Amino acid sequence: MAKRKKINVSDVFSVKVSESEFIYGRVLFDVTKQYMKKSYNPEGNNYSYLSFFNKCFLIETFLGVSSSFEDIDMKQKAVVSTFVPDFFFSEYEANIIDNIGVDVKEISFPETLSSADKRYFSVGELYLPINLTDDECYRIKIYPSFGSGFQAITATLDYSGRTDLIEEGYRQEAYFKYSDLRNNPEIRQEIYAMIGEDPNQSYYELALKHGFDLARLYE
């Protein structure tokens, strides 16, 4: 495996997908540096899924496949956000091409269910109790998970209309179906009704309401 790259929040990266074309993305959050070293308390009742994603980065990818980043509109997202392990960048020989600051109020995290002493709705630092049985959780089956980043690359190619660059057998009908409620809108509506929150509010607004100011982790 290639030597691991030094990655910083706000880094814009490219991943080669053909002889002359790339997909592009940006690093939104460094779990180890911004959460595990700043906020994680192993002695507390901390059910945030972020400890599960230690040594991972939250990334976004942009629509489009091009030989030049100048052709990419950063407002047009392919994958809004997903976690990838720290070796993603070396495994796929990603190049850091720029560093463009993120807007903390626009960052969103994958939304999942988790179980400890109770069932929880988990997103970012939040873990909110929900009234679900074990059987209902098993039926929904949306839990924190991450892969090598291959799904993020494949989804970006698919959403960008470049299925010709996807290896046969790897295109999916629904990406992140079992790892993110945001890709299951009907179930997501049910969960948000259970916690009494508006599904249209931003993660920043939701977290702030429950005592977590995401901005502090970017200081």
Is residue 28, in this structure, part of any structural domain at all?
A: yes
pLDDT of 82 > 50? The answer is yes
Report which residue type is found at 22.
Answer: F
pLDDT of 1 > 50? The answer is no
More confident residue, 98 or 140: 98
Q: Give the C-alpha separation, 129 to 121, whole Å.
A: 6
Is residue 206, in this structure, part of any structural domain at all?
A: yes
Is residue 5, in this structure, part of any structural domain at all?
A: no
Is residue 19, in this structure, part of any structural domain at all?
A: yes
Taking every pair of Cα atoms in the chain, the longest distance, rounded to a whole number of angstroms, is 51
pLDDT of 115 > 80? The answer is no
What range defines the domain where residue 142 resides?
A: 11-218
Number of domains in the chain: 1
Q: What is the pLDDT of residues 158-180, one digit of tens each?
A: 999 999 999 999 999 999 988 99
Is residue 203, in this structure, part of any structural domain at all?
A: yes
Is residue 2, in this structure, part of any structural domain at all?
A: no
The 3-class secondary structure across 159-199, one letter per residue, is HCCCHHHCCCCCCCCCCCCCCCHHHCHHHHHHHHHHHCCCC
What pLDDT does 118 receive?
A: 82
* In contact, 86 and 55? CB cutoff 8 Å: yes
Q: Give the C-alpha separation, 39 to 155, whole Å.
A: 32
What is the arithmetic mean of pLDDT over 142-151?
A: 83
What pLDDT does 141 receive?
A: 86
Is residue 27, in this structure, part of any structural domain at all?
A: yes
Q: How far apart are the first and last CA of the chain?
A: 33
Q: Give the C-alpha separation, 31 to 200, whole Å.
A: 25
What pLDDT does 41 receive?
A: 72
* In contact, 100 and 13? CB cutoff 8 Å: no
Q: What is the pLDDT of residues 28-72, one digit of tens each?
A: 999 999 999 888 776 665 668 898 999 999 999 999 999 999 999
Q: Give the C-alpha separation, 82 to 180, whole Å.
A: 9
User: How many alpha carbons lie under 13 Å from residue 22 in its C-beta half-sphere?
Assistant: 19
Report which residue type is found at 78.
Answer: A
Is residue 3, in this structure, part of any structural domain at all?
A: no
pLDDT of 133 > 90? The answer is no
What pLDDT does 114 receive?
A: 85
pLDDT of 183 > 60? The answer is yes
